[in-house]
Structure 1
Amino acid sequence: MSGQPIFILKDGSKRTRGRDAQGNNIMAAKAVAEAVRTTLGPKGMDKMLVDSMGDVTITNDGATILKEMDIEHPAAKMIVEVSKTQDEEVGDGTTSAAVVAGELLKKAEDLIDMDIHPTVIASGYRLAAAKAVELVQGLAKDIDENDVDLLNSIAATAITGKGAESAKALLAKISVEAVTSVVDETNGKKQVDREQINVVKKVGGRIEDSELIKGMIIDKERVHSNMPEMVKDAKILLLNEAIELKDTEIDAEISITSPDQLQLFLDQEEAMIKATVDKVINSGASVVFVQKGVDDMAQHFLAKAGLMVVRRVKKSDMEKLSRATGAALISNFDEIAADDLGYAALVEEKKVSGDAMIFVTGCENPKSVSILLRGGTDHVIDSIESALEDSLRVVGVVIEDKKLVAGGGSPEVELSLRLNEYAATLEGREQLAVRAYAEALEIIPKTLAENAGLDPIDMLMDLRSSHEKGLKTAGLDVFKGEVVDMWKEFVVEPLRVKTQVINAATESAVMILRIDDVIATTKSQGAPGGMDMGGMDPGMGMDMP
């Protein structure tokens, strides 16, 4: 065998190892971070994404951009995962997480060039991340979750720079009212279930026409034109069962030999439907929401009785209606009782941009609320929805955690200074990794300055100077182009946004750093689904001594 290569990978496989693999992965991750970097902050730019079908998305939300970019490189996908996790956990800070992860890898590349082993860098980064989380928790301030002005400021900070500036105050107010309406308390701890906030988008009108409905909006209409359009003091029945004749479970044939028998059969069908409808009418309900279908004959009887009926309502909407009105979900007509009915002060069918919708308002306990979003085009509404989504999640996180930190790059500068002090207490090469981590965090204030057309070096020097003098909440006001106290300006963010950015960015950077061998196999030569590793060497042979 002397020196003869042994091929253990199938033909068409690609392999990259050592410094090449690390360099390749870091380059891909940095490219992803660079792609979203210009969107960071209130003055960040937007990206236009066009998919294979020609559909256009205009956004500056990091998670949305990375999701729509359809990235192939496996290391780059890890940065996308960071942004996705950030979005799921806290809803904001998605761009920051990707940018910090990219910068950590850029700094690590410099250390690798100095012959510092990736394992040592990973160890140093983990130490720095643990210390950073501890420090940022020390910077956080407790707040009163009932302080509406402060909650409005938090919501406005999340909306800023998301393409909804003109209606920022209105959207912030709607966000706060919506979240505070659905707060639940379990074992003394407040929780916000985002699922209980229903967002309905309708093209037409202005952004300023958007409103919060303390109740539900159902994107359906009455099943029969003779039914009332408006019901006051509505008693609401929620049915999971269809109001129609059930099909037989087995194939059956009915032999009819005379017209009288046919009439008898039809009369029997009508009597059965009438009996079912009578159970609904006798329940005392004035409005009925049905998850399934309603027979034409049943519609006639229900309209005659003066009931408003809506059919084919989504299961999720039925569950929200149950929470909002206090009605029980009924699956058996024989079990309908008076205390199963819910209540709403008003159920009304209204036209919104030419489409009929059912508004259920004035609920006794509106634990489900709806937000009606309006805008001139689909793109405008999608942009507003993205901003509103971030705002809702952020306000929810603040109410749950009751802790805030200053915005405007303030925590990152403070952490950078303190981590440099911490690095001096360490021995060994981890010290260099901690210093690199400290420098990497400064990418946030630098990018904020760059995106606002300011000099990043000058702004960073001013920020450091303010923090060295003890002003821990000094941040960059990108509108004035100067360093100010972010607490006085009410530019604040939830603590969880920052801790999640630190943890998620560190974990992904460490994971990518520890990869020194990339082996990509294909199903067969030229088969679809083969992975293009973006410039990797096709060295398939493994030399064995």
Structure 2
Amino acid sequence: MAGQPTYMLGNRNKSSRTRDAQSINILAGKAVAKAVRTTLGPKGMDKMLVDSLGDIVITNDGATILREMDIEHPAAKMVVEVAKTQDDEVGDGTTTAAVLTGELLAKAEELIEKGVHPTIIASGYRMAAEKATEILKTITIDISRDDRKTMGKLVKTSLTGKGAGEYKDFFADLVIDAVLSVAEETEDGIQVDVGDVTIEKREGGSVLDTELVPGLIVDKERVRPNMPKKVENAKIMLASFGIEFHKIEKSAEIKITSPDQMQMFVDQEERMVKEMVDKIIASGANVVFCQKAIDDLAQYYLEKAGIYACRRIKKSDLQKLAKATGATLFQDVTDIRPEDLGSAELVEERDISGAKMTFLTGCKEEKTASLILHGSTTHIVDSLKSALNDALCVIGVALEDQKIVAGGGSPEIELALRLSEYAATLKGREQLAVSKFAEALEIIPQTLAENAGLDPIDKIIELRSQHEKGNKNAGLDVYTGKIVNMLENNVLEPLRIKTQALNAATEATVMILRIDDVVAAGSRKGAMPPGMPQPDMEM
């Protein structure tokens, strides 16, 4: 035993070693990718997700599907994180990222079975991803803020195959106007915060009733109907505190022995509330948005002063209000100062499909916009919101990078061919990994063909042939089954969708491949944690 390592684990700890761990982790990653693969592309199918409460979500968005699925295996969760990161960074291409991760794992498994060490595969994959990023930059197209026509093509490509795809021509201008209204010119270029575009949902009416409001919408109504319905030249106060009598936090006992003492106590409460309202009135505010409650007595005084007030405002909405109006979010009534109030040309309450909402237009900081979505059912409106959020993100990143590429699987085929050529220049075993990386990229056009009911092998061969002839933008038209120029076919995507998907998929794959030992503490009864494989070795 001398010189040999000794492993000492408790009786309840389980371990799965080397090949078994790698196989199980790869299998889990492939299973996640397979779950969303059928949703890829314009001809992709939808998934109906039903939660424990019976609520239904119908979508073909990869990130949404994986987020709603009850996934327990730790390696599978890493693939879910790839889709989540893609959604956070770009907003679209989540299914592409997940499918690519699964295929990279599948190709790595083939190499492992041939005796190639996982660290060699990881090194080769990193080299391939770096080279692929360089190649992508050679096939990009520039886009400017004034090129609305190209931006319209980006929006339509993003919406195609989703719930809003039928109305993509209608939504194109709305999305472009919304993004341009919040885009800021900085020294580093254009910056777009899609969070500045508020999306509100309303059931009822037609999808074509959806409108863009050049301002901010708060899904709240006045606390009292006799308050002014419309306030021009609004001076806006934002309060994170409640406009009410503050109860003593510590335990206390007050003994009242006469009606006069009771009346004095009530009068003191009223005076405290009135003092708070008087300070608000003295500041010059004529519109108040409060995160917490507004006491009935405070409502009365505010109404009497002709102030428009809303309560129970979400913190996220208060932050948007602060950014749009230039107001400071007050933490206490003693902090109120006239110079910290926000401003807007108009604050008014409107009735939208039977629900009252507050509209702010002509805000001090004009970088804000709101979309009011309409649809006949909750599911339709939810689907619209998800699709439009993706489209907003697509235009946002396209403007920031000012680089786009053709879609329809053309970048993946071009990368596959160029990476195969690059692999031939390498001498070590990394050459094998780079070649497999190139093969894995073909899963995207292959899946597009499969989901369209076409023969994937024939289409891949046709695509390779076109790209070898120098047609870098040749892709698959899933509607006709023909190989066409994607630029001429108006199928465009932001460059960042491709680079982010490649990098995220590569990093997740490398991390999974480098795991050769899975050790997890079991429960007190010795059972494995959820999602962990039953081991064949105990130590």
| TM-score for the superposition, normalised by structure 1 | 0.91
1:95 aligns with 2:95: yes
* Alignment match, 1:179: 179
Structure 2: 5+ residue runs without aligned partners?
Answer: none
Q: Number of paired residues?
A: 537
- Contact kept, 8 Å, 2:156 with 2:165, in 1: the verdict is no
Give the AA of the match of 1:109.
Answer: E
- Counterpart amino acid of residue 366 in structure 1: E
Which residue number in structure 2 is paired with residue 86 of structure 1?
86
CA-CA distance at 1:474 after TM superposition: 1.4
Q: Measure, in 2, the Cα distance between the counterparts of 1:298 and 1:531.
A: 53
Q: Deviation string for 1:86-145 (max 9, x for gaps)?
A: 112211111111111111122222222322222222222221111111111222222212
Counterpart code for 2:537:
G
Structure 2 match to 1:203: 203
TM-score, structure 2 normalization = 0.92
Give the letter aligned to residue 538 of structure 1.
D
CA contact (8 A) 2:13 2:526 kept: no
Partner of 2:383: 383
Aligned equivalent of 1:62: 62
The match for 2:371 is 371
Q: What residue in structure 1 maps to residue 529 of structure 2? A: 530
Alpha-carbon distance in structure 2 between the residues aligned to 1:15 and 1:266: 68
Q: Report whether the alignment pairs 1:303 with 2:339.
A: no
- The answer as to 2:225 corresponding to 1:225 is yes
How much does 1:20 deviate?
Answer: 3.1
Distance 1:138 1:392, change over 3 A: same
Q: Does 1:341 align with 2:355?
A: no
2:399 is matched with: 399
Q: Deviations over 1:319-342 (max 9, x none)?
A: 211222233334454564544333
Q: Does 1:471 align with 2:460?
A: no
- C-alpha distance in 2, partners of 1:203/1:314? 21
Give yes or no for the alignment of 1:108 onto 2:108. yes
Deviations 1:349-382 (A, max 9, x none): 2233332221222324332332222222222222
| Structure 2 counterpart of 1:291 | 291
How far off is 1:148 after superposition?
A: 2.0
Paired amino acid for 2:151: L
CA distance in 2, matches of 1:107, 1:241: 57
1:273 deviates by 3.4
Aligned to 2:537: 539
User: Map of 1:227-242 to 2, 5 A cutoff?
Assistant: 227-242=227-242
- With 40-49 and 274-283 compared, the bigger mean Cα shift is at 274-283
Cα drift, residue 413 of structure 1: 0.7
Q: Secondary structure at the match of 1:349?
A: strand
Q: Equivalent residue for 1:408?
A: 408
SS of structure 1 residue aligned to 2:316: helix
User: Given the alignment of the two structures, is residue 515 of structure 1 paired with residue 515 of structure 2, yes or no?
Assistant: yes
SS at match of 1:205: coil
Q: SS state of the match for residue 157, structure 2?
A: helix
Q: Partner of 1:329 in structure 2? A: 329
Cα distance change, pair 509–254 in 1 and its aligned pair in 2 (3 A)? closer
| Aligned-pair identity (%) | 58
1:135-171 C-alpha deviation (Å, 9 max, x unpaired): 1122222221232222222122222212221222333
How many angstroms apart in 1 are the aligned matches of 2:54 and 2:276? Answer: 50
1:14 deviates by 4.0
CA contact (8 A) 1:323 1:366 kept: no
Instruction: Quickly say closer, same or farther: Cα 1:121–1:338, change in 2 above 3 A.
Output: closer
The amino acid of 1:460's aligned partner reads: I
Indicate the SS of the match to 2:92. Answer: coil
Of 231-240 and 265-274, more deviation after overlay is shown by 265-274
Query: Are 2:342 and 2:364, in contact at CA under 8 Å, matched by a contact in 1?
Result: no
Q: Describe the superposition over 1:451-507 as per-residue Cα deviations: whole angstroms up to 9, x where unpaired.
A: 111221222222222211212111112122212222223311111111111111112
User: How far apart, CA to CA, are the structure 2 residues paired with 1:460 and 1:469?
Assistant: 14
Question: Which whole-Å deviations, capped at 9, do the CAs of 1:499-533 have from their partners, x for residues lacking one?
Answer: 11111111222222233333343123355x73453
Ranges in structure 1 where 5+ consecutive residues have no aligned partner: none
Deviations 1:212-234 (A, max 9, x none): 22222212221112112222333
Counterpart amino acid of residue 374 in structure 1: H
Give 1:52 deviation, angstroms: 2.7
Q: Secondary structure at the match of 1:225?
A: coil
* Alignment-mate amino acid for residue 477 of structure 2: D
Instruction: Give 1:258 shift.
Output: 5.3
Which one-letter code corresponds to 1:153 in the other structure?
K
Q: Which secondary structure does the structure 2 equivalent of 1:344 belong to?
A: strand
Task: Please identify, of 134-143 and 257-266, the stretch whose mean Cα deviation from structure 2 is larger.
Answer: 257-266
Report the CA distance between 1:268 and its aligned residue: 4.8
**Could you say if the C-alpha distance between residues 12 and 270 of structure 1 is closer, same or farther in structure 2, counting changes exceeding 3 Å?**
closer
Please name the residue that 1:494 is paired with.
Answer: 494
Q: Over aligned residue pairs, what C-alpha RMSD do you find? A: 2.6
The alpha-carbon distance between structure 1 residues 505 and 296, as it changes in their structure 2 partners (threshold 3 A), is same
Q: What letter is aligned with 1:158?
A: S
8 A contact 1:349–1:359 mirrored in 2: yes
Moved more, 380-389 or 186-195: 186-195
| CA distance, structure 2, for counterparts of residue 423 and residue 109 of structure 1 | 19
- The letter of the residue matching 1:539 is M
1:267 Cα deviation from its structure 2 partner = 4.5
**CA positional deviation for 1:406:** 1.0
Query: CA–CA distance in 2 between the matches of 1:240 and 1:15?
Result: 51
Distance 1:264 1:361 in 2: 45
How far apart are the structure 2 equivalents of 1:67 and 1:243? Answer: 39
Deviates more, 1:436-445 or 1:349-358: 349-358
Distance change (3 Å), C-alpha of 1:412 and 1:263? same
**Which digits, 9 at most, give the CA deviation of each residue in 1:70-94, with x for residues without a partner?**
1122222221121122112211111
| Counterpart residue type for residue 206 of structure 2 | R
Report the counterpart of residue 353 of structure 1 in structure 2. 353
Could you tell me which amino acid in structure 2 is paired with residue 350 of structure 1? R
CA 264–28 in structure 1, closer or farther in 2 if over 3 Å, else same: closer
Secondary structure, aligned partner of 2:111: helix
| Aligned counterparts of 1:27 and 1:252: Cα–Cα separation in 2 | 62
Contact 1:158 1:391 in 2 (8 A): yes
